[in-house]
Amino acid sequence: MDNSQDESENDEQELDESMENSQDESESDEQEEFLEKKPLRPCTSPEQSPASFGQPLPKSPIPLKATPISAAFPMPQHKGGSSHDPLKETPMSAAFPMPGPKDEPSDDPLKATPISAAFPTRRHKDDPLKATPMSRSFPITRHEDESSDEDYKPFSGQKKSTPLKTAKRTQQAECSNAGNTKRRSIQRSLNRELAFSSSLSSNPNESVEEVMIMFDSLRRRILQLDENEDAGKRADLKAGSLMMQNGLRINNSKIIGPVPGVEIGDIFFFRIEMCIVGLHAPAMAGIDHTSAKHAGKDEILAVSIISSGGYENDDNDTDILVYTGQGGNSRHKDKHDQKLEGGNLALMNSMKKKNLIRVVRSAQDPFCNSSKVYIYDGLYRVEESWTEKAKNGFSVFKYKMRREPGQRDGISVWKMTEKWKANPATRNNVIRADISSKAEKLPVCLVNDVDDQKGPSYFNYVTGVEHSGPLRKTKPLQSCKCPSVCLPSDTNCSCAQLNSGYLPYSANGVLVKHIPMLYECSSTCQCCQNCRNRVTQKGVNLNFEVFWTGDSGWGVRSWDPIRAGTFICEYAGQIIDETNMNMGDEEDEYTFCTSWHSDKVSRWNLGAELLEEKSDNATTENLKKLPVVISAKRSGNVARFLNHSCSPNVLWQPVQYDHGDDSYPHIMFFAMKHIPPMTELTYDYGTRGAPPGIKGKFPNACKLKKCLCGKRGLMH
DNA sequence: GTAACTTCAATGGC
DNA sequence: CGCCATTGAAGTTA
């Protein structure tokens, strides 16, 4: 792929001044909730420095009306000449305090902070231990983290001082499984202290990733918690609201041009996700624009649009989009002609001013008929506009938009993969159509777009693990008595009980949380094969290709968009005992051994944990190194081609379903985040970053392949 | 097909 | 004008 010119040639980049919500506020919902929170992340983790997650926006308790956001996000693409940009003299809404979630009494207290309203904002002041956000009680320290990414120690003492009442809390939580769910769903709120102290990275890419991961973690967990009650709807909105109310969002101002940390081709599964990363603010409206309040109506400019798909021209010209204006089509009111106001007016103004507008296109989610995927397709400008009669007889605005040249591929990658999926023969540069020789349900294509390298050396394609010796049956196989399928409401399901009381997958099959050991239903369970607790045992469901990366050997990517939590594949191969390895069986680039999980993996659950009433220490913290070692040298599957990255998009999860020896679980890979089609799949081989003492016997065993870090984006 | 829901900007009252 | 509470507009999701 041609590499995208960075967005540096976009003119008119303009950042508003940051609107500031001083992070504090009356988040006091439930004082005692605070007290009982336990820090969920070990403060001592060597790689996790809270300061490195310093929240970019709310740095100071003082409202930063005058601080340009560019200070927080230095933008290289900001052109010098833009100081004459009219936008600069016409401050947009964001420069002024908006009804932010923070100092905002109007924030409906009932929504998330039921008790807070009863207390004046600063009541914690006299008692810093009472869960006062660091930013408030220690403004100076807080300030420090603006400049330093390393100095986090000042916080750790404070953070540690909170688990005062953990015991009581846990107790309380334990009995809450069935009966208290109602209460929980009403009073749900984040553990704010943690939310604050683990705030976001100053690196835009990382903070976008962080917010996205936290959102979906929250969302999956809320879905899981709410599933057996009536409230089990719209977990996306609930998770989104929590994020918003806690200031866990970024690029919180109207930005014209690229949004830091969001790249062309990035995919989203909910509107609210685009809102919390600042790509497109309105929860519903398709046109996002600057505010008229201070600039005047004639000055409002469109900053981004979402094309829901109905009106796209469907020829192959992915550079042109004909977009329909908004309004006039309400289901609740009489239909009428669209008016030249709001978003429609903004687009019209943008046509005159020729400013860049972000375009998000949508597509059908191939794995879920009822939902959409949103693809950020980069910057466009409005070229023409006209009105025409819609089918219902009323007139609508039309805007012809042209994609700015020189950007990396966006929707065109999507269209390409769709074509390949429909007919794999249309894929060029194929070396072998299916290296699995039909062992997988879907063909695994071998391709080389780079040079004439002909393929990896021979191996036997297998879809599972082969045990070289007998397993110790340390416990009986799980066997639940659920009729038909296991359901979250069935508290008697013994498989759910093994997974700390919950079914580990959502109804659509995504992993809710990373857990030390996941028990799927087994052959002795009475439930059927359609039971949702049988995900990985049913095998791979993605259209993979093994491709030549050029300088990092062979890699794996998918033609499908992959939602966070989706099962990717097993690490197949021959199981070797650790002891065998000592004797001669050399570990090589095709050896998998369990290792310390990267910090990113332990953060994967963070949203779910911040949510929780329960200090769930059955998380990554107690993961032990397992003796299982798998060699995929002679036989294996696509997993043997997964490369390492320090910024991985895949994690591994031990899963049990066919035997009782927990030392030798299946190693199953899941998506850590939403992965656009044609993005290389990588996981963190671990080990190297592990604290001393837990490296195990083979400190380098898993580090034999090259690190891809820093070379993000072969295709994407 | 319909109900339930969100954010944000604008507006009106004080 | 500032502050606030309220309202209307926008469409998505299950």
CATH of the domain at A531: 2.170.270.10
Whether A347 and A466 map to the same domain: the answer is no
A110 touches strand B (CB under 7 A): no
The answer on pLDDT for A87 being more than 90 is no
The Cα A17–Cα A116 span in angstroms is 29
Strand B within 7 Å of which CB atoms in A 273-332?
275, 281-284, 291-293, 297, 300
Q: What is the pLDDT of residues A222-281, one digit of tens each?
A: 888 888 766 657 899 989 988 888 888 899 889 999 999 999 999 999 999 999 999 999
Please give the pLDDT value at position A473: 76
CB A522 within 8 A of CB A658: yes
Phi and psi at A299, nearest 5°, equal: -105, -10
pLDDT at A113: 32
Give dist(CA A190, CA A170) in Å, integer.
16
Among A355, A375, A410, where does a domain finish? A410
Residues A398 and A437 in one domain: no
Among A10-19, A315-324, A454-463, A688-697, name the most confident range. Answer: A454-463
Q: Is there a domain that residue A85 lies in? A: no
Average pLDDT over residues A282-309: 85
Q: Specify the pLDDT at position A146.
A: 29
| pLDDT for res A178 | 31
Same domain membership, residue A291 and residue A386 = yes
Instruction: Provide the H-helix boundaries in A470-548.
Output: 494-498
- A343, closest nucleotide (Cα–C1'): C10
Burial (0-12, 13-18, 19+ Cβ within 10 Å), A469: exposed
Query: Distance (Å, rounded) from C-alpha A572 to C-alpha A81?
Result: 56
Taking the C1' atom of every nucleotide in all shown strands and the CA of A374, the nearest one is: C12
Among candidate residues A376, A410, A444, the one where a domain is terminated: A410
Q: What's the count of helices (H) and strands (E) in chain A, helices before strands?
A: 19, 23
Q: Supply the pLDDT for residue A626.
A: 82
Residue A91 pLDDT level (bands cut at 50, 70, 90): very low
Q: Distance (Å, rounded) from C-alpha A74 to C-alpha A89?
A: 20
Residue A559's pLDDT is: 97
Indicate if A527 and A604 belong to the same structural domain: yes
Query: Rounded CA gap, A375 and A13, in Å?
Result: 21
The three state secondary structure string of A248-300 is CCCCCCCCECCCCCCCCCCEECCHHHHHHCCCCCCCCCCEEECCCCCCCHHHC
Residue A449 has pLDDT above 50, yes or no: yes
Q: Protein A332 CA to nucleic acid B2 C1', in Å?
A: 12
Predicted pLDDT at A520: 96
Q: Where are the beta strands (DSSP E) in A473-587?
A: 518-519, 544-548, 554-558, 567-570, 573-576
pLDDT band with cut points at 50, 70 and 90 for residue A191: low
Per-residue pLDDT band at A52 (split at 50, 70, 90): very low
pTM of this prediction exceeds 0.95? no
CA angle A92, A93, A96 (to 5 degrees): 110
Which positions of chain C lie under 7 Å from any protein Cβ?
3-6, 9-14
The reply to whether A200 falls in a domain is: no
Domain assignment present for A65: no
* Domain stop point among A410, A441, A469: A410
Residue A19 lies in a domain: no
Are residues A373 and A483 located together in one domain of the fold?
Answer: no
Whether A439 and A574 map to the same domain: the answer is yes
Average pLDDT of the segment spanning A60-78 = 31
A414-428 average pLDDT score:
95
Can you give the pLDDT at residue A709?
Answer: 60
Q: Is residue A192 one of the residues assigned to a domain?
A: no
Asked if residue A514 is part of any domain, the answer here is yes
Q: Tokens representing A98?
A: 């908006």
Q: Scan for tokens 């290709």, then name that residue.
A: A545
CA of A300: nucleotide with nearest C1': B9
- Please indicate, yes or no, if residue A73 is contained in any of the structural domains: no
Do residues A329 and A445 share a domain? Answer: no
**CATH number of residue A297's parent domain:** 2.30.280.10
- Per the model's pLDDT, the better-predicted residue between A648 and A94 turns out to be A648
Q: Give the highest mean pLDDT range of A4-8, A354-358, A389-393, A610-614.
A: A354-358
Q: Tell me: do A330 and A431 sit in the same domain.
A: no
Domain that holds residue A356: 251-410
Q: Identify whether A209 is part of a domain.
A: no
Domain count for chain A, please give it.
2
Q: What are phi and psi of A494, to 5 degrees?
A: -70, -25
Inform me whether the pLDDT recorded for A334 exceeds 50.
Answer: yes
Nucleotide nearest to A306 (CA to C1'): C11
Each residue of A475-506: pLDDT tens digit? 888 989 998 899 888 888 999 999 988 999 99
Domain identity same for A579 and A601? yes
**In terms of domains, do A455 and A343 share one?**
no
DSSP state of A706: P
- A107-147 tens-digit pLDDT: 333 333 322 222 222 223 222 222 223 222 222 222 223 22
**What's the Å distance between residue A278 CA and nucleotide B6 C1'?**
15
Residue A476 and residue A596 in one domain: yes
Q: In the complex, which nucleotide's C1' lies nearest to the CA atom of residue A237?
A: B6
Same domain, A478 and A351: no
Structure tokens belonging to residue A155:
């916080």
Of residues A81 and A568, more confidently modeled: A568
Q: Which nucleotides of B are covered by protein (CB under 7 A)?
A: 4-11
Give, in Å, how far the C1' of B12 lies from the CA of A293: 15
User: Is residue A104 pLDDT above 50, yes or no?
Assistant: no
CA distance A43 to A153: 9
